Structure 1
Amino acid sequence: MPLVFLKLGGSLITDKSRPYTPRPEQLDDVAAQIAAARRERPDLRLVLGHGSGSFGHAAAQQYHFQRGAETTADWHGFAEVWYHAATLNHLVIEALHRAGLPVIALPPIASVSTHEEKIFIWDLYYLRAALEAGLIPVIYGDVVFDQALGGVILSTEALFAYLARALHPERILLAGQEDGVWENFPQRTRLIQEITPQTFAICREHAGSAAEPDVTGGMKTKVEHMLALVQEVPGLQVVIFSGQTPGNVQRALLGATPGSVIHA
């Protein structure tokens, strides 16, 4: 049975220009598309992830927390980022549940440990069990405890990268606001439809970035990480596309490749 990872970007499900502001209609629309794709392709195994958007990122900036926790103030910031990321996760789970999807939230802070921001412990039993039962595990960008730094923020892409090496999905779908990776950001007139190790050297200076601050890195960082991953996981394809375009999420889940495709 095919396995697909789908990330709902923070820019898609929240208003990143306004702290702690969800986009409930967008959430409901995406949830409905996922449900429709599952009805059309009932054998599809799916791991969902989502960014923290204007919840976790805003809290990280407000409380000056990103990398490392030592002082009481640092740990207070750590807890605030956790709270706001968990709040958004609850809203996402509610939307998916309303659409009739059998989702199970698996908060990274409860099962993932890092060392200098690299995952070295993740008990995947529960995630594997959820997939085996036909459920949809949902993970998200979160704070986690780090053996060297105390506490750090771990992005959904970092979680997906670790999972991809363990579970070998066919595709990773990254749904955001942008139509894909632009050759000329912010003008947005030339979309890069295909990115490989050979072509990335040419387009790397034009990969662009997010319109709003993102403490886990912008578009160029995302492309670099995904390009490294497709070279490690045989046959993996990554698609960066707009989840705002009507029907795009459903089409991507059913095998279409809107936006920019990254492969080895």
Structure 2
Amino acid sequence: MMLIKLGGSAITDKSKPLTSRAGDIKRLAMEIAGAEGTKMIVHGGGSFGHIKAAEFKLNEGFVDDSQREGICLVQKDMRKLNAIVVDAFREAGVPVASVPAGAITLFDNGQMVKFPSEVFIHYVKLGIVPITFGDVVVDRARGISICSGDDIMLQLAKDTDAVKCVFVTSVDGIFESYPPGKDEEPLSEVGPDTVIRFSSEDVDVTGSMKRKLDLMIEMASSGKEVAVVNGLVPDRLTDALKGNDFIGTRVKGD
């Protein structure tokens, strides 16, 4: 079993609202289709989710009636992006099922308390690849929360027999500093003892790069093979999925 996270920066142009990288999405779907084994797919929001989520401050919970419009718009736009991703996999010959996180996930005070991974496991048993995505979800205490694709990846890693967890992004891996320097090379391997310098500038609506890395290390600590690759470069994902040497970063656990 492989869990694959298609990051928002790899499948959208985050500088332009509602702009997908359609060609890259189709190629990534083909690369995933060419790798043997069962899979589950999670994708981020990029310019389809983050911009309006930040505009309406949805990460702060339900604090203002005007946020109702924001909830509607973000969920609508995320489903638009999901439809593009689903179509790409269908064209690649992969049978897929869309499973919106906003319809099945429950948070409490910003923490995931219910996520039915058995739904995903059942689809896999049917020979279908389930695809979900970061979304606005109900929160018992705060009204709403943002459930990131990274949150979903961690939960699926806990609840399934996944061996590999591959994070597809728009850069060559994980760097020693954020934001990275102009000529800085990615680290080939990171772990709990790796010292990485984080700037306050790297924070987005789903959390900082530090939090993302902490989640990856937690996955690796449970025995998963965790990798970060650049999805904008052809065959980087293929190499990581097939167990070849790859350009990117391996994440090690405790």
Q: Normalization by structure 1: what TM-score?
A: 0.89
**Partners of 1:182 and 1:188 in 2: CA distance:** 11
In 2, the alpha carbon distance for the partners of 1:86 and 1:13 equals: 14
- Residue 27 of structure 2: which of 26, 29, 50 is its match? 29
1:138-182 Cα offsets, whole Å, 9 max, x none, are 010101100011011110010111111111411110001110011
- Secondary structure class of the residue paired with 1:72: coil
1:113 Cα offset (Å): 0.5
> Structure 1 208/220 Cα, relative in aligned 2: closer, same or farther at 3 Å?
farther
| Paired-residue identity, % | 29
TM superposition shift of 1:219:
2.6
Residues 20, 55 of structure 1: 8 Å contact kept: yes
Report what 1:122 is aligned to: 115
Instruction: Sort the Cα spacing of 1:30 and 1:181 in 2 relative to 1 into closer, same or farther, 3 A.
Output: same
1:111 aligns with 2:104: yes
> 2:15 matched to which residue of 1?
17
Q: How does 1:125-144 map to 2 (within 5 A)?
A: 125-144=118-137
* C-alpha distance in 2 between matches for 1:4 and 1:188: 32
CA distance in 1, matches of 2:116, 2:146: 18
Specify the alignment match of 2:207 in structure 1.
217
Once residues 199 and 187 of structure 2 are traced to their aligned partners in structure 1, the CA distance between those partners, rounded to angstroms, is: 9
Cα-Cα RMSD = 1.8
Residues 1:205 and 2:197 aligned together: yes
1:181 to 168, 174, 182: 174
Q: Distance in 2 between matches of 1:209 and 1:245?
A: 26
Distance in 2 of aligned mates of 1:192 and 1:209: 20
Q: Is the 8 A contact 1:141 1:153 kept in 2?
A: yes
Aligned to 1:97: 90
Partner of 1:148: 141
**2: CA distance, partners of 1:238 / 1:208:** 25
Match in the other structure for 1:48: 41
Match of 1:255 among 234, 243, 246: 243
Q: How far, CA to CA, are the matches of 1:182 and 1:209 in structure 2? A: 15
Contact 2:40/2:130 (<8 A) preserved: yes
- Partner secondary structure for residue 143 of structure 1: strand
Q: How far apart are the structure 2 equivalents of 1:36 and 1:230?
A: 25
Q: Which amino acid letter does the alignment assign opposite residue 263 of structure 1?
A: K
> Matched residues in 1 for 2:15 and 2:183: separation?
20
1:157 is matched with which residue?
150
Q: Secondary structure at the match of 1:12?
A: helix
Shift of 1:120: 1.1
**Structure 1 residue 133 displacement after superposition:** 1.1
- Given the alignment of the two structures, is residue 226 of structure 1 paired with residue 211 of structure 2, yes or no? no
Which runs of no fewer than 5 residues in structure 2 stay unpaired?
none
Partner of 1:237: 225
Provide, for residues 210-264 of structure 1, a one-character-per-residue CA deviation record: whole Å limited to 9, x for no partner: 6xx7311243321122113322x2x212111101111111111112343111112
Letter in 1 for 2:124: L
Measure the CA separation in 1 of the matches of 2:189 and 2:91: 35
What amino acid is aligned across from residue 262 of structure 1 in structure 2? V
Distance 1:78 1:105 in 2: 19
List runs of 5+ in structure 1 lacking aligned partners. Answer: none
Quote the Cα distance in structure 2 between the aligned partners of 1:245 and 1:144. 33
Q: Which sits farther off after the overlay, 173-182 or 118-127?
A: 118-127
